[in-house]
C-alpha cells in the first residue's frame, strides 16, 4: 500500500508518498506560501531533477489539489492515479490526554481536534484545515491522525504536573504534554535496533535539536519526561523561542513596559531564542558562521543553547537513575559535529565519551562514542514521516 503523509502548517505543507511494501519514499514535497503571493510547490523524487511549480494557491485545499495533481502527473508524477493512495497519515500536534496513540479520523476525532485547538492555537488549526481539505478531495480514502503529544502520554504525574493549584490540571488541563513525540519515539527505538538491544532494557536521552528543539527521557521504551511542556515554548531555547524563563518575567513586562498579551507571546515565540540572543539569525548555520567570524553575541547564543541542552541531559539522567544511550537528531543534532561536541563533552563522569573523529559525521546513522564508552552516543536522523506512515498502515489494514 502507498501512504501519503501530510504535515500541514499555517502557510506551508510538507508531504511524502511512501510505498509501504518497502518503506521507500516515492516523492517528497513542500508547498510554501499558501494563501500568500508567491505560492510554490517543490517536489523531489530520487534520480530526478527537482520539480518546482509556481502557481497561486489561495488555500490549503488548493495546495493539496496541486500536490495530488503533481503526484499523478504523467511527466513529474510517481503514480498513475489517486486510487493508488491507500491512506493518508496526518501529523497533528496536540492530542490532549485522550490520544496516547494514533487514531483513524472520524467525526468524533475531528471534534476533539477542534477542542484541543484551545491548547495549541498556533498548531492544531492548520492541521485541521489540512485534514478537511484532504477529506474534500479524497472522500473515500481513510485518514489517520498521528499526534506529537502521544508518545509522551506515558509520563508519570510527578513529571507532568506543574506546581500550580491542582484544580488547574483537573479543570483547565494545564499540565506538561510534550511534543516531537513521533521523533523521540522513532530515534529511541531505532537506537535500540542499531545497538542490537531491546528498547525495554534501555535508558535513553534523545535530543531533537532543530528549529524547534526538545530533549526526552525514554526509559524502557516509554517517554518518562521531556523538556517541552504545556506548549512547545518550554524547555530548551530554540531558533526563535525562549524556552524556560522565570514565569514572573511575563507579568513584569506587561506591567512595567505595557506590553500586551499578544506582544509578550510574540516576543517569546518569534523574537527570542538564539535569534534574540545573537541578533544574527534563527538558523544555527548563520550563527556558527558569525561566531567563527568573531561575533560575541553569536558565540554567547551558542553557549547558552549548548549549556541548556547539557543541563537537560543531566536532569534526565537523574530522572532515570542512569543512561545507556545519548542520541542526537533533527537539523542541528544530525548535521552539526561542533554542537554535539560542545554538548556531549565533559560528561565523562557519567560514562559518556565522545569520539571526536567519529563525531565528524553529518546526517548519517552513526555511533559517535568511543568503543569503550559506557554510554553509547549516536546520531540517528529522524524520520517522522515513516513513523506516521507505519501507524497509518497499521490502523487502516
**Residues with active-site annotation:** 148
The verdict on 84 binding ligand ADP (CB under 6 A) reads: no
Q: Is 284 in the site for ligand ADP (CB under 6 A)?
A: yes
Residues 6+ apart with CB under 8 A from 329: 183, 187, 206, 207, 208, 209, 379, 380, 381, 382
Burial of 46 per CB tally in 10 Å (0-12, 13-18, 19+): exposed
Q: Applying CB under 6 A, does 364 fall inside the site for ligand ADP?
A: no
Q: Is 7 annotated as a binding residue?
A: yes
Q: What is d(CA 237, CA 98) in angstroms, rounded to the nearest whole number?
A: 28
Distance (Å, whole) CA 54 – CA 43: 12
**Binding test (CB under 6 A) with ligand ADP, winner from 266, 283, 355, 365:** 283
42/211 with CB nearer ligand ADP: 211
Number of residues interacting with ligand ADP: please give it, by CB under 6 A: 13
Instruction: Give alpha helix (H) positions in 35-162.
Output: 60-72, 107-116, 124-137, 157-160
384 is in an annotated binding site: yes
**Which of 77, 89, 95, 210 touches ligand ADP (CB under 6 A)?**
210
Interface with ligand ADP by CB under 6 A: which range of 26-34, 219-227, 244-252, 283-291?
283-291
- For 23, 105, 131, 394, the CA distances from 88, given in Å and listed in that order, are 15, 10, 9, 12
Strands ordered across the beta sheet of 222-226:
222-226, 213-219, 203-209, 325-329, 376-379, 366-367
Q: Which of 76, 117, 135, 211 binds ligand ADP (CB under 6 A)?
A: 211
Q: How far is the CB of 35 from ligand ADP (least distance, A)?
A: 20
> Residue 238 or 326: which CB sits closer to ligand ADP?
238
Distance CA 190, CA 295 (A): 38
In the bound state with ligand ADP, the residue whose beta carbon lies nearer, of 182 and 373, is 182
* Bridge partners, 144 (sequence order): 89, 104
181 binds ligand ADP (CB under 6 A): no
Site for ligand ADP in 325-344 (CB under 6 A): 330-332, 335-336
E-strand stretches of 129-270 = 142-147, 203-209, 213-219, 222-226
Contacts of 248 (CB under 8 A, 6+ apart): none
Residue nearest to ligand ADP (CB): 331
Tell which positions 235-254 bind ligand ADP, by CB under 6 A.
239
Q: Which residues line the annotated binding site for ATP?
A: 14, 208-212, 283-285, 331-335
Q: Which residues line the annotated binding site?
A: 7, 14, 91, 208-212, 283-285, 331-335, 384
Q: Which residues line the annotated binding site for Mg(2+)?
A: 7, 384
- List residues near ligand ADP by CB under 6 A: 210-212, 239, 283-285, 288, 330-332, 335-336
Q: Which residues line the annotated binding site for substrate?
A: 91
Amino acid at each position: 500500500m502507498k501512504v501519503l503523509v501530510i504535515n500541514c502548517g499555517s502557510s506551508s505543507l510538507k508531504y511524502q508518498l511512501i510505498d509501504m511494501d518497502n518503506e521507500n519514499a516515492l516523492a517528497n514535497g513542500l508547498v510554501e506560501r499558501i494563501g500568500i503571493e508567491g505560492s510554490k510547490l517543490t517536489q523531489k523524487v530520487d534520480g530526478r531533477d527537482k520539480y518546482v511549480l509556481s502557481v497561486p494557491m489561495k488555500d490549503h485545499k488548493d495546495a493539496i489539489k496541486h500536490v495530488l495533481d503533481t503526484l499523478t502527473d504523467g511527466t513529474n508524477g510517481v503514480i498513475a492515479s489517486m486510487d493508488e493512495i491507500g491512506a493518508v497519515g496526518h501529523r497533528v500536534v496536540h492530542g490532549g490526554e485522550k490520544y496516547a496513540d494514533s487514531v483513524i479520523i472520524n467525526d468524533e476525532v475531528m471534534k476533539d481536534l477542534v477542542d484541543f485547538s484551545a491548547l495549541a492555537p498556533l498548531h492544531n488549526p492548520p492541521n485541521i484545515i489540512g485534514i478537511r481539505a484532504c477529506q474534500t478531495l479524497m472522500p473515500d480514502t481513510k485518514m489517520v491522525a498521528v499526534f506529537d503529544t502521544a508518545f509522551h502520554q506515558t509520563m508519570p504525574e510527578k513529571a507532568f504536573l506543574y506546581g500550580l493549584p491542582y484544580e488547574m490540571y483537573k479543570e483547565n488541563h494545564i499540565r506538561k504534554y510534550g511534543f516531537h513525540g513521533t521523533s523521540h519515539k522513532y530515534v529511541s527505538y531505532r537506537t535500540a535496533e542499531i545497538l542490537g538491544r531491546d528498547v525495554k532494557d534501555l535508558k535513553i536521552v534523545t535530543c531533537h535539536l532543530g528549529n524547534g528543539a526538545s530533549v526526552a527521557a525514554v526509559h524502557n521504551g516509554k517517554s518518562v519526561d521531556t523538556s517541552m511542556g504545556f506548549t512547545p515554548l518550554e524547555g530548551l531555547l530554540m531558533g526563535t523561542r525562549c524556552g524556560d524563563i522565570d514565569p514572573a518575567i511575563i507579568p513584569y513586562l506587561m506591567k512595567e513596559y505595557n506590553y500586551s498579551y499578544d506582544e509578550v507571546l510574540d516576543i517569546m515565540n518569534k523574537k527570542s531564542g538564539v535569534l534574540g540572543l545573537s541578533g544574527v539569525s534563527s538558523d544555527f548555520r548563520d550563527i556558527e558562521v558569525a561566531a567563527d567570524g568573531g561575533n560575541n553575541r553569536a558565540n554567547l547564543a551558542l553557549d547558552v543553547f549548548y549549556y541548556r541542552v547539557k543541563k537537560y541531559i543531566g536532569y534526565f539522567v537523574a530522572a532515570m537513575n542512569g543512561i545507556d544511550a545519548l542520541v542526537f537528531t533533527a537539523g542541528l543534532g544530525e548535521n552539526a559535529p561542533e554542537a554535539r561536541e560542545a554538548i556531549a563533552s565533559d560528561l565523562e563522569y557519567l560514562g559518556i565519551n565522545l569520539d571526536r573523529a567519529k563525531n565528524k559525521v553529518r546526517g548519517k546513522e552513526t555511533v559517535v562514542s568511543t568503543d569503550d564508552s559506557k554510554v553509547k552516543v549516536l546520531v540517528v536522523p529522524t524520520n517522522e514521516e515513516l513513523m506516521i506512515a507505519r501507524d497509518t498502515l497499521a490502523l487502516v489494514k
